[in-house]
Chain A
Amino acid sequence: DAGVTQSPTHLIKTRGQHVTLRCSPISGHKSVSWYQQVLGQGPQFIFQYYEKEERGRGNFPDRFSARQFPNYSSELNVNALLLGDSALYLCASSLDGPYEQYFGPGTRLTVT
Chain B
Amino acid sequence: DQQVKQNSPSLSVQEGRISILNCDYTNSMFDYFLWYKKYPAEGPTFLISISSIKDKNEDGRFTVFLNKSAKHLSLHIVPSQPGDSAVYFCAASAQKGSSNTGKLIFGQGTTLQVKP
Q: Do A and B bind each other?
A: no
